[in-house]
Amino acid sequence: GESVGLHLPTLSVQEGDNSIINCAYSNSASDYFIWYKQESGKGPQFIIDIRSNMDKRQGQRVTVLLNKTVKHLSLQIAATQPGDSAVYFCAENSKATDYKLSFGAGTTVTVRA
């Protein structure tokens, strides 16, 4: 079964607002958690990762938070833009499983103008 799963399959956000996409995981031995973005008709694209010994990591307009106590991961997108409309996947990997990526089901984010 899946080792990562998302809370909500869809999210509608007003342009300019912040987006929060959530993900739950079950594998306590995961080494990395990763967020990918998939635009329509394209392959997934890496956004940001976080090592399991970290709580927070920031990138350009994105922040990933990791709460190991409740096994929860979130991706925050600041000032959401129309180009952020896509499907977002959380993924995890671990040394124990050859670092192969295991993906959740995805959240479709739609940005309203």
Comparing CB distances to another protein, the nearer of 1 and 83 is 1
Comparing CB distances to another protein, the nearer of 17 and 42 is 42
From 11-19, 58-66, 72-80, 97-105, give the range in contact with another protein by CB under 8 A: 97-105
Spatial CA neighbour of 2 closest among 109, 94, 107, 92: 92
CA angle 102, 67, 58 (to 5 degrees): 80
CA–CA dist 73, 36 (Å, integer): 13
Spatial CA neighbour of 4 closest among 100, 110, 111: 100
Q: Is 57 in the site for another protein (CB under 8 A)?
A: no
Size of the site for another protein (CB under 8 A): 22
The amino acid occupying position 19 is S
Q: Is 88 in the site for another protein (CB under 8 A)?
A: no
**Interface positions with another protein (CB under 8 A):** 2, 31-32, 34, 41-46, 49, 89, 93, 98-106
